[in-house]
Amino acid sequence: MGFKFINMKKNNFILLLILSIWFVISFVTNIIGPMLPMVISDFQLSLTLASFLPFSFFLAYGVMSIPAGIIIERYGGKVSLLIAFGFAFCGALFFVLFPTYGIVLSSLFIIGLGMAMLQVVILPLMREAGGERNYAFNAVLAQIVFGGASFVSPFVLTGLLHRNYPWSSMYLIFTVVFALMLIIIGSVKFPKVVLKENEKAGTLQNYKDLLKNKYVILYFLGIISYVGTEQGIANWMSQFLNIYHGISPEGMGATVVAWFWGLMTVGCLLGLIIVKLIDSKIMLRIFAIIAIINLCAALFAPASVAVIAFPCCGFSISIMFSIIFSLALNSVEKYHGAFSGILCTGIFGGALMPFLIGWIGDMVGLRFSMLILLITLAYILSISFWAKPLVKNKTIL
């Protein structure tokens, strides 16, 4: 009994550490949007050059998602976490020591490599630490922590600016946090991660077989569309409000970004209930239509409406990633681990769409360049019509 109690306490500590890692991932990943107007001002950047910042960060997801799965299979959870935080620490330190545009781009790519690895590592690690029976609950808890971090990060940035610290001081904080995480992880014994079949990276032949299936490509494009939409809105809304409505990025602009992530978290939690009531394809269709309406309102309505519509975009896209992902995995009979790796590579959409918005924005203006997100939302809407999962979600109605 005594051993069991000690072991339970140990696993609870590891679970708390994993939730802390989720917080760090979200905080670091989603701070780019609130900072972008300040980066543009300080470095005197065009929208195109500014768009390379999120591009560099999310390009790392496209590069690292599949290799990260191979690393955790070969070296285990603890070593993988140390490698991931090692990347993040080096990237943040370079940012602090050499805060020039070129170095910042490289630093964000290196930090992105670390964040991509962390997301791949901590899901199976959370299952091992918290137990299979508690995994669903812990996954929801992680989602709340993730959303909470994105909600808090713009307010932290605003607090630093009000104390006359530069926006780049955020990366000094990140450097310290990454160093602490390396020390803590290095001193803790983690449970051995035994990957399930749907968590394994798979062989080269698995990937070749999957890529012959047109639905694998279509769902891959779906993930690109979702993450591109999410990051396209999150990264450019503050700059948009500043250009067209004169709203300060350090004040109301940061608050709007915070509530975008806050309402996304609310939407995720509400979605857990709705998906038990109706078919996930119908749910995706309804939310996609609402998202299109919200985006149009955010781009063309007066400031008083835009500051509400942008956060509501967060609510209306909240369930899309999980539904697209589950529809995808339920549409193939085997190689789920390899398929997950392909889908996670689609997070590259977070690099592609913000870049296209910035590049086109320099030619036609940010308002009209953000209209390309209607294309990604229309594609997501189309999934609700052509998706043919082998297994449908269980509903009570």
Q: CB-based contacts of 84: which residues, under 8 Å, 6+ apart? A: 68, 113, 114, 115, 117, 118, 121
- Is residue 365 a contact partner of residue 276, using CB atoms and an 8 Å limit? no
**Residue 108, in any domain of the structure:** yes
Summarize pLDDT for 115-166 with one digit per residue, the tens. 988 888 887 777 777 776 666 677 778 888 888 899 999 999 999 998 889 9
205 — pLDDT class (breaks 50, 70, 90):
confident
Residue 396 has pLDDT above 80, yes or no: no
Residue 100: alpha-carbon gap to chain centroid: 25
Closest C-alpha to 8, from 191, 210, 213: 191
Question: Which CATH number belongs to the domain containing residue 254 in this structure?
Answer: 1.20.1250.20
For residue 376, the model assigns a pLDDT of 97
**Residue 394, in any domain of the structure:** no
Mean pLDDT of all residues in 303-320: 95
397 — pLDDT class (breaks 50, 70, 90):
low
Backbone angles phi, psi at 128, to 5 degrees: -70, -40
**Residue 396, in any domain of the structure:** no
- Is residue 2 a contact partner of residue 124, using CB atoms and an 8 Å limit? no
**Residue 158, in any domain of the structure:** yes
- Is residue 244 a contact partner of residue 134, using CB atoms and an 8 Å limit? no
For residue 3, the model assigns a pLDDT of 41
Q: Looking at mean pLDDT, say which of 16-20, 67-71, 320-324, 377-381 comes out highest.
A: 377-381
Residue 92 has pLDDT above 90, yes or no: yes
Place of tokens 């803790």: 188
Residue 214 has pLDDT above 80, yes or no: yes
**Residue 392, in any domain of the structure:** no
| Structure-model confidence comparison of residues 201 and 367, the more confident one | 367
Summarize pLDDT for 317-371 with one digit per residue, the tens. 998 988 898 888 888 877 777 777 788 888 889 989 999 999 999 999 999 999 9
Q: CB-based contacts of 105: which residues, under 8 Å, 6+ apart? A: 52, 53, 56
**Residue 235, in any domain of the structure:** yes
**Residue 205, in any domain of the structure:** yes
Mean pLDDT of all residues in 36-61: 91
Copy the structure tokens of residue 101: 């545009």
For residue 237, the model assigns a pLDDT of 96
Mean pLDDT over all residues of the chain?
A: 87
Residue 279 has pLDDT above 50, yes or no: yes
Enter the pTM of the model.
0.86
388 — pLDDT class (breaks 50, 70, 90):
confident
Inter-CA distances, 308 with 49, 180, 311, 371, Å: 28, 38, 6, 18
Tally of structural domains, the chain: 1
391 — pLDDT class (breaks 50, 70, 90):
low
- Indicate the burial class of 335 (C-beta count within 10 angstroms; 0-12, 13-18, 19 or more): buried
Summarize pLDDT for 99-119 with one digit per residue, the tens. 889 899 999 999 999 998 888
Q: CB-based contacts of 50: which residues, under 8 Å, 6+ apart? A: 36, 39, 40, 239, 358
**Residue 220, in any domain of the structure:** yes
Q: CB-based contacts of 276: which residues, under 8 Å, 6+ apart? A: 394, 395, 396
**How many CB atoms neighbour CB 270 within 10 A?**
13
For residue 4, the model assigns a pLDDT of 46
Place of tokens 């809407």: 381
For residue 6, the model assigns a pLDDT of 42
Mean pLDDT of all residues in 297-326: 94
For residue 122, the model assigns a pLDDT of 81
For residue 2, the model assigns a pLDDT of 46
Copy the structure tokens of residue 277: 């009531």
Summarize pLDDT for 11-43 with one digit per residue, the tens. 778 888 888 999 999 999 889 889 999 999 989
For residue 56, the model assigns a pLDDT of 92
Place of tokens 């929208």: 47
CA 40 – CA 101 distance, rounded (Å): 10
Residue 193 has pLDDT above 70, yes or no: no
